Amino acid sequence: MRKLTLSTSETIISAAFEKAAELGLKPLTVAVLDAGGHLVALQRQDGSSIMRPQIAMGKATGALAVGTGTRWLNANAETRPHFVNALNGVSGGAIVPVPGGVIIKNDDGEVLGAVGITGDTSDNDEACAVAGIEKTGLSTDCG
């Protein structure tokens, strides 16, 4: 069983930023939360707007809340808006239900935490999260 360490979190962030540079994306903000929803690391690129840390944490929180990536939450926001509204209500508004929140799993499938990324399109945010996680050798679940 691997744990989500600060070093691993920093590798995820660095690799996500590398992927963003490769794709020519807008400035990103990346939050890495542990399985309990506690912030392990957060970095924002120069030029990121002021609410990006909260959005990144909201995407990661959403993924942890449902145990899968926020792409699943986004789909349910369209088909079951009452569910997503209720979930966001019981979380105190802490969930951002759009792609860009990705679960981090170890080799045994145990959830270690989640990454939330914001700054570009939701699809690009998610692609950077996946790239960051894959760089560590851990697995993902995008939903």
Residue-wise pLDDT tens digits, 35-57:
999 999 999 999 999 999 999 99
Total number of domains constituting the chain: 1
3-28 tens-digit pLDDT: 899 999 999 999 999 999 999 999 99
pLDDT in tens, 54-73: 999 999 999 999 999 999 99
**pLDDT value at 79 more than 60:** yes
Calculate Rg over the CA atoms of the chain.
14
Question: CA-to-CA distance for 116 and 93, rounded, in angstroms?
Answer: 16
Give domain status of residue 1, yes or no: no
pLDDT given at position 141? 79
Residue 62 belongs to domain with CATH number: 3.30.450.150
Tell me if 46 is assigned to some domain.
yes
> Residue 101 sits in which domain range?
6-141
